[in-house]
Amino acid sequence: MRRRRLLAAFAAAVLVAPALGRAQEGGGSQAKASYLPLKSVTVSIVRPDGRRGVLTVEVGIDVTNRALRDQADLYLPLLNAAYVSALQPYALGLSPGQPPNADYISMVLQRATDQTLGRRGAKLLLGSILTN
């Protein structure tokens, strides 16, 4: 029981310490404001048994330019639509059972980000890539 409490206290300290450090520096809100999480992108794939499956990609963008960040915030639905349009042809071309190529997905989604926002400056960040 004591070990559980110790682990819980350690986990809480690990999660809270970075936030406290940024708040004390005074730059916490600016550093936090550059990251913009987006909805997961889901597209259809063909599974090894021939049935339809789903490819899910978690994405976010990092925008340090405040004006571009505000524009990206307004363009969230357009970004999501651009990601689906860019990723669907690739996903349907995957051979059944073939794992997705994270480098290619990153390149395609970064290109869609630049085209949708009309300029460079937003860096695409990939989370997990799941097939089901």
Give 74-84 pLDDT, tens digit per residue.
999 999 999 99
Does residue 91 sit in the same domain as residue 118?
yes
Does 68 share its domain with 82? yes
CATH code, domain with 76: 3.30.479.30
Answer whether residue 5 shows pLDDT above 60.
no
Looking at the structure, tell me whether residues 22 and 40 fall in a common domain: no
| Same domain flag for 4 and 62 | no
Looking at the structure, tell me whether residues 9 and 66 fall in a common domain.
Answer: no
Task: Work out how many domains the chain is built from and give that number.
Answer: 2
The residue segments making up the domain with residue 2 are 1-32
Smallest Cα–Cα separation from 42: which of 52, 57, 31?
A: 57
* pLDDT score of 122: 94
d(CA 19, CA 60): 20
pLDDT given for residue 7 in this prediction = 47
101/117 same-domain check: yes
Q: What is the rounded average pLDDT for all residues in the chain?
A: 83
Q: What is the token pair recorded at 119?
A: 């300029």
pLDDT of residue 97: 84
Q: pTM score > 0.95 for this model?
A: no
Mean pLDDT score, 29-55: 85
